A and B are shown apart, each in its own frame.
Chain A
Amino acid sequence: MNDTGSLVTLAPDSSGPAPTGERWIRFAKPARWIAIAGAVGVLAAPFMAWAYRPDALDDVSFWGEPSPLQWFAFALGLLLLGCLVAPFVIKPRPGRRPRRLLAFNRGAKAAASGSLVYFAVASAAIVLELGGLVALEPGAWAGLAGALVATVATRALPEGHDPRLQFLNTPAWGQILGIVGAVALVLFAAAYGLGQDGASTFVTFGVLCGVGVYVAARVGVMGWLSAAAARNRRALVLAAFAVAFLFPMTQDGSDANMSIAVGVLIFAATAMGLNIVVGLAGLLDLGYIAFLGAGAFTAAILSRSAFATLGWSPPFPVVVLISGTVAAILGLIIGSPTLRVSGDYLAIVTLAFGEIFRITMNNLDGVDGPNLTRGSNGIPAIPDLELFGFDFGESHMILGVQIGRFANYYWLMLLVLALIILVFTNLNHSRIGRGWVAIREDERAAEAMGVNVFGLKLLAFAGGAFLAGIAGAVKAHVDVSVTPDQYIFMESAFLVAGIVLGGMGTVGGVLIGASILKLLPEKLRFFEDYRLLMFGVLLVVMMRFRPEGLMPDERRQLEFHADDDELAEEIGENIEAHVIPSLAGAPEPDLKGDDA
């Protein structure tokens, strides 16, 4: 692991051998101009035709009339040019020490590579769709060449110092404004991206967003944003929640995207529950979908469906509690072996429990066992929810916008998810959460320090299961029918994949991971057949190159790179930077608790 770790150290002040880029530093000046020429090529490309026939991508065969996909390329070009030209505009005042707030050279490198990937993917798509390189018109060649030139030339630019923007003294209102702006940008991007029907536009927009975030991170904007977010957590949470709440308003009563969004929320809520077990307590649970299933089946059996087998249908709030409790009891049963089993064996035990659950639900059909779940047919025709006179199945007009059935459930799930996140973060920052982290890092040491290991492990299982049970109760009503084959092992594997992808033990990472895993296959129907294959490969590659996930918890990252001293130092500095008030405002007390 650590041999690759040392290869990527590009920081100029590192004591290791000089990175390859530094050798070319004397060409930095001409290289910048060459790169600018390349950027101009990228900017010009959208105004030319890329393909000779309109059926590739979203019709890129016109001169002078860029399609959306081409405008994305233009945006990339602007990003690149901006990063290249900025050092001419922003100069240190004479006689003053340069402030080095932003690392534009790093941004230029990232933007150049991003444009190259963008044009390569677009050209490859055209070539594949229209058959042969002849299909490429000058625009595609100009873009490819420009991006390639810029990529090569930017390699010669010096890396420069680490951006120091996050240490800038920003007033509190400025930080909050930045957070709100960023969150609003996310809402806009999500609404725009989901509004794209064409798969190619959707994918390329995703690439644009990804490159944008990457460039922002390299330039140093993300560092400022995350520092500001760490300081104004409440503002961030409020803004994010408000944006998520407003999302159905942008959909014009269309249910297509809202049904996907509800699916994402259910998946995210379940993954967040699993995150308690896997991310905090470090207990790999490969049968977690059984808890969602237990909640869904309980809610279905207690619903007013004509196929419900018990004939008792209490009001929904009661059903939610019963569902959660049933799942939690199941969690206690599944968690009880943790007294004696840990690590891989525990993963296998939970997997076996998950399979037992599925087979049992299949067998309780009146033939092989008592009739409770109607076997593989499941329980269909579960009626829509009615809470306090509000019918979730009906459309409503709110502020002149039509809100359909899925939007109603979306808001309900949003509340459930908010509840789960609240539980998660509060537990994480409490004595219980510290205990879980201690167990995860070294069970024996934790026990020696007086942590109640068995009790806390059981609590993780039961608590996570309770939350999944609640999500399952809502899912039963959203999906209308509940069948055992919705709760197969593969779904558990997806949940684990979502957590691993985003970053174990974090809230933001898991939300992102869950959205990616659930959203991509929904929007990319042509991709449907290959998605499982992709996920399999993704898990392997991820474990190989970035086992800590896209947005790792810092402590977690250190666990995965235990012998990487440089990383340890860097993270140590970061924690210090959080604790020493470098931004305006007092430090959060719980951050100090990290060192205590």
Chain B
Amino acid sequence: MDLFAQQLVNGLSLGALYALIAVGYTVVYGIVQLINFAHGEVFMVGAFGAYTTWILMGSPSHLSPGFAFGVVMPAMLLGGVVAAVGTALLMERFAYRPLRGAPRLAPLISAIGLSIALQEAVRLFYGRIPGFPDSRRAIPFPVIDGFTGRSWQVAGVTIQYSTAFTLIALLVCTTLLWWFVNRTRMGRAMQATSQDPDTSRLMGINVDRAIATAFAVGAALAAVAGMAHGLRYNNIDFQMGFMAGMKAFTAAVLGGIGNVNGAVVGGLVLGVVEAMATTYIPGQFGSSAWKDVWAFALLILVLVFRPQGLLGAKAVDRA
């Protein structure tokens, strides 16, 4: 039972990470019916942005907990968000906006190109900036005293601080997102655009800005996930976006793409399934080497048998 509870906690924290990224896929898809294949790279840029902020602050270490939680971590989070949002907005403006109305293949191939280009740009140029570490291999994420490696013991279950951070971040972000989408003018403009862009334009909504906002919102959440990833695994690298992006996309599809609640549910379910698969599948296939295979198998099964996802109401036609 302890093992089950422990794996549940692990799965939930992994799932929260997936969910934060998945929201970005789903928000963008909901508004322009585009799979932003390069979203995983936005997540990676967010993590590097957070790390860069830490370096720019003079690589502070041995901090008092108050300073660490009150200044350093919020600053890193903000830096990551700025970097990721900037990247996403540029991407939207110069790669996706000109392709609106083009055949489906065009934006998808463009996204693959963007994904490769962003990874390579970080790999080649990040380490060349004086004072920055070599980005060709994994970079150790900053150790924050009083946070990194700390954990609580609750009824025999270990809960890392980073786990709590990820779960709380998910809770806060989704609440803020709900408020933004349902209570602000821009959020309502986004909803209107996703229902009918042409009519929205006639009603005086700046459709371009609404779409750009969707990209920005997704990127901000991905940057939070990037920070959480760094705290959880203690290192970041230029390739981290590919697998995380694929998993998050799986989560978005699992929950029903275009549905924000679905992305959160899908992420948590996927994380738990992955954690349980490595524990409860017997024999050689239960080893962690196979966990990605199970995740992808789940993705294929969902796409084939329930393309509208767990929470998706309407059938999605992706022809």
Q: Please list the residues of chain A having a beta carbon within 8 angstroms of any beta carbon in chain B.
A: 1, 282, 284, 286, 337, 340-349, 351-353, 355-356, 359-360, 362-363, 367-369, 443-444, 489-490, 493, 496-497, 500, 529-530, 532-533, 535-540, 542-544, 547, 559-560
Contact = CB atoms under 8 A, between A and B. Distances in A.
A341 B116 contact: no
Interface in B58-116: 95, 98-99, 101-110, 112-116
Q: Which of B108, B242, B249 lies at the interface centre, i.e. has the most chain A CB atoms within 10 A of its CB?
A: B108
Given A352-B246, A543-B99, A543-B110, A536 B296 contact: no
A105 to B, nearest CB: 32
Interface stretch (B5-13, B151-159, B287-295): B287-295
Given A340-B304, A368-B290, A530-B124, A493 B112 contact: yes
Contacts of B318: 341-346
A1 B104 contact: no
Contact of A537 (B113, B246, B250): B113
Question: Mostly helix, strand, loop or mixed at chain B's interface?
Answer: helix
Contacts of A540: 95, 110, 113-114, 117
A353 B300 contact: yes
Contacts of A363: 287, 289-290, 293
Contacts of A530: 120, 124
Q: Which of A344, A351, A353, A490 lies at the interface centre, i.e. has the most chain B CB atoms within 10 A of its CB?
A: A344
B304 A533 contact: no
Q: Which of A343, A346, A496, A559 lies at the interface centre, i.e. has the most chain B CB atoms within 10 A of its CB?
A: A343
7 contacts: A1-B99, A286-B112, A493-B112, A535-B116, A543-B99, A543-B109, A547-B102
B299 interface: yes
Interface string B130-158: 00000000000000000000000000000
A343 B319 contact: yes
Contacts of A353: 296, 300
Contacts of A529: 124
Contact of B112 (A1, A356, A496): A496
Given A341-B307, A352-B250, A544-B110, 16 more contacts: A342-B319, A344-B104, A348-B303, A353-B296, A356-B293, A359-B290, A359-B293, A362-B289, A529-B124, A536-B114, A536-B120, A539-B113, A540-B117, A544-B98, A547-B106, A560-B103
A284 B112 CA distance: 12
Contacts of A497: 109, 113
B35 interface: yes
B121 interface: yes
B117 A496 contact: no
A359 B292 contact: yes
Contacts of B118: 536
B4 interface: no
Given A360-B293, A536-B116, A345 B303 contact: yes
A532 B180 CA distance: 38
A159 B25 CA distance: 48
Interface string B226-250: 0000000000000000100010011
Given A341-B318, A368-B289, A529-B124, A539 B110 contact: yes
Contacts of A349: 299-300, 303-304
Contact of B117 (A351, A355, A533, A542): A533
B97 to A, nearest CB: 10
B101 A536 contact: no
Q: Which of A345, A359, A529 lies at the interface centre, i.e. has the most chain B CB atoms within 10 A of its CB?
A: A345
B289 A533 contact: no
B43 to A, nearest CB: 17
B178 interface: no
Nearest to A493: B112
B284 interface: yes
B297 interface: yes
A355 B292 contact: yes
A543 B106 contact: yes
Contacts of A369: 284-285
Contacts of B300: 337, 349, 352-353
A583 to B, nearest CB: 34
B114 A496 contact: no
B114 to A, nearest CB: 6
A538 B113 contact: yes
A535 B289 contact: no
A38 B35 CA distance: 51
A348 B299 contact: yes
B246 A533 contact: no
Contacts of B287: 363, 367-368
B117 A352 contact: no
A443 B317 CA distance: 12
B240 to A, nearest CB: 15
B304 A341 contact: yes
Nearest to B118: A536
B215 to A, nearest CB: 16
Q: Which of B101, B118, B296, B297 lies at the interface centre, i.e. has the most chain A CB atoms within 10 A of its CB?
A: B296
B246 A532 contact: no
Given A1-B101, A363-B290, A560 B108 contact: no
A352 B319 contact: no
Nearest to A562: B103
Contacts of B121: 533
B124 A284 contact: no
Contact of B116 (A344, A355, A444, A532): A532
A283 to B, nearest CB: 10
A292 to B, nearest CB: 19
A458 to B, nearest CB: 14
Given A337-B303, A341-B304, A348-B303, A559 B103 contact: yes
B102 A345 contact: no
A90 to B, nearest CB: 43
B307 A284 contact: no
B99 A544 contact: yes
4 closest A-B pairs (Cβ-Cβ)?
A: A539-B113, A536-B117, A536-B116, A533-B120
B117 A560 contact: no
Contacts of A337: 300, 303-304
